[in-house]
Every structure is written in C-alpha cells, then in structure tokens.
Structure 1
C-alpha cells in the first residue's frame, strides 16, 4: 500500500494542519502555485516531493519547475499539472490512471473515461468561501482510493 499526499495552491503558506496530514506519506505531490521554495523544502523533510509550476510560480527557483510531470506509483501512473484546462494529453491513451491538478482552489474527485481526476483544493490562504483542503491517494496494486480532507472544519 502506498500513501501519496496531495497539496496545491499554498501561495506561500504552509499550514501546520497540512503538515500534520501529510506526515507519514511516502511521497508528496504539489500541484503548483507553491509561492515560496521554502514550502517544498519543508515538505521534503516529510517525504520526497514531486512538484509542478503553477501560473503564479514565476520567480526562480519555482519558475524552473516543469509544467507537468508523470509519476509512477507501483502499478499506477499519475499525471500532475497545475491547471486542468492546460491538459495537453489524452490521459487514457497515455496510460494515465490518475490526473492530479490544482489551480481552481476547488476540491474534486471524479472519474472521467476510466481516469480518476483529483484536485486537492487549496491549502493556502482562503479564497472566497472555498474550503482549505489537502488530499491523499492510497494505492494498492492498480486500485486507487482518493480522499480530500477539509482542514478548517
């Protein structure tokens, strides 16, 4: 069993509750709009981090992050990008099982054409009335169990 932590849209704020939730993951995926490289450093203390650049990650070293990355977790292939509207591949045709994104600040867990789409929502500063969230993927063989958790209530 693999536990992959999901976080996005921190915008320079790493909440202690997010760190607590992500503790114990074997890998952490940050889906962009990180805001400060120190966030990746703090997450890397917990587990290896895979991160993509968000539309607000314009300054080095964050500007050098890839726009998208493919990650293999056991028998499951993840495709990570910040803005789902920028998805330039057919995930099913590419053998992708899970697409992880951020940007919208809205948590999402949805099956589309045999592919699981997960957005852990925003873990940073509150935007409008949207919840503060993080997520995880539990991967057991080819089975993926997603979970998004609201941190503030």
Structure 2
C-alpha cells in the first residue's frame, strides 16, 4: 500500500461486533482484528472500503467456542500477522502469550522491535502507548463483553511522513442493538 491509509484496529469481539464499529470500519481502507473473534460472522461483517481484513487468533478462538461448521475458517487464522503500511510495519497478535499485564508492553516491544506498531487485544482495555517505537496499541473490546466503558476501537492513519492514532469509544447500549455477528454468550 502506498500513500496514506486508514486502518481500523479492533479486538475482543467474542462473537459480536458493535454496529457503530462496523460503520467506522467501512470508512477505512483495511481492518485488523487482534483476536478473540468468536465467529466467522464477525469477520464477514467487517467491510473496509479496500476490502482487506487481517485477523489473528486469540486464546478464545478455539473450536468449542466458535459456531459449529466454522472450523476451517478458524483453523485458517494465524497466531500473528503483519501488514506493510506507508511508513512502517504493523504487527497484530492477541497478547495472551506476552506475559502479565505489567510487563506486556515491554515484552511486545522486544519481540517486535522491527515494527512501527504492535496491535494486541486480550485485556479488553483500551490503550495507546506511543512512548517509544514500536507503539503498543490495544483497541479495547469491540463487542459487548467486558468493554470497560463501552465498545471501542482505534483508527490508525498511516502515511510515509506520519502515523497518527484516533481513539474511538462508544457509549454502552442500554438495550442490545442489532449487531453484526452472533452473540454467543
């Protein structure tokens, strides 16, 4: 990809992605899901304008937690992936293998030192650590499970000259709203 791009970063949908996040993804060139997807319907609902959806498996992306018949789709997901963007490389992992929360960012920075940024999930906690390169980004939970204040995601604006991250958090819904994907809870 050349020129500037908008990349939707999301994680921890657990079978359901908030409609408002689906709408944001549609305005982006590509989407990156950092694991605990929960169902193929979640990935199918993500339709960035560039058509590229990159997703990695999380610790809950196992056959007994996905709908029956989706095993092939699940098995096709890698544990980590990277995307070359203008100005650098973005790495996606779930983060459950990166040690405890207090040392997770340092571990990710060491493991992916050649990346411009690392996006991870697992904690469901929105975090945008740009203190040093690689940046360590957690988009929080984009579904309805443990959103800690509402469903959230990040939008990465990447160009050769500059990267910028936009944090997006939505109010929790008082009543369940029709959402893309299946609610497996």
TM-score, normalized by length of structure 2?
0.74
Q: Determine whether 1:99 maps to 2:121.
A: no
Go from structure 1 to structure 2 and tell me whether the alpha carbon gap of 1:111 and 1:117 turns closer, same or farther (over 3 Å shift).
Answer: same
Q: How many residues align?
A: 151
Counterpart for residue 73 of structure 1: 85
CA contact (8 A) 1:134 1:151 kept: no
Cα 1:84–1:138 change in 2 (3 A) is farther
What is the match of residue 30 of structure 1? 33
Give runs of aligned pairs for residues 44-123 of structure 1, distance below 5 A: 44=47, 46=49, 47-59=51-63, 60=71, 61-83=73-95, 85-86=97-98, 87=108, 90-92=111-113, 95-123=114-142
Alpha carbons of structure 1 residues 152 and 126: separation in structure 2 relative to 1, 3 Å: farther
Specify every segment of 5 or more residues in structure 2 that has no aligned partner in the other structure, as ranges. 64-70, 99-107, 173-185
Distance 1:128 1:76, change over 3 A: closer
Show CA shifts across 1:38-90 (max 9, x none): 11112146531000001111122224311111110123101100016434953
Say which SS state the counterpart of residue 80 (structure 1) adopts.
strand
The 2-side partners of 1:142 and 1:77 are apart by 14
Distance 1:17 1:88 in 2: 31
**Structure 1 gap ranges (5+):** none
Give the ranges of 4+ consecutive aligned residues of structure 1 lying more than 6 Å apart after TM superposition.
none
Whether contact under 8 Å (1:7, 1:30) holds in the other structure is yes
**Alpha carbons of structure 1 residues 128 and 14: separation in structure 2 relative to 1, 3 Å:** closer
- Which residue of 2 is the match for residue 40 of structure 1? 43
- Alpha-carbon RMSD across the aligned residues, in angstroms, is 2.0
Q: Which has the higher strand share?
A: 1
2:52 & 2:159 partners in 1: Cα distance? 19
